[in-house]
Amino acid sequence: MSLITQKISGCYRRVLVFLFLILIVSIGIGLFVYNRVGGAEGMRYWMAVRALNGTEKLLITNRPDGVPQETVEEQFKDVRDAIHNRQIDLKLLYDLLNSYQNKFHNAGLSTEKIDPSTPEVETFLIKLKETIIDVIE
């Protein structure tokens, strides 16, 4: 019986060491990525770009015919550049993206699909442009 308990305890010991090593490597990779995006401040801007990309896909997919796709892509590119240069009001941007997604993508329990109209998209693009902070050099 002692031979079986020794084999089992050796197996558990190896599994625990293996899991501990995986945990250490995962933490190391996480710290490396966290450092590469710029810490807490960089993480906010990285998340803003991710939210902007998702909203851009939604807007292009549900874009009304009155708004050219090039206009939408150009506007989002300008905002993406402003995020990269840290010239954006993140709070205003998050509020704007959240309101757009809640209105047109998160219909709640309703099965009715809501597409934005041309004036709504134009207003959204104007407000999106207003999130860019003009830096006087």
Which tokens go with 75?
A: 């506007």
Q: What is the pLDDT of residue 27?
A: 96
Q: Do 96 and 134 fall into the same domain?
A: yes
Segment 81-114, tens digit of pLDDT:
999 988 999 999 999 999 888 888 765 556 667 7
Q: Give me the number of domains the chain comprises.
A: 2
Query: Length of the chain, please?
Result: 137
Residue 135 lies in domain: 39-137
Do 25 and 54 share a domain, yes or no? no
Please tell me the pTM assigned to this model.
Answer: 0.70
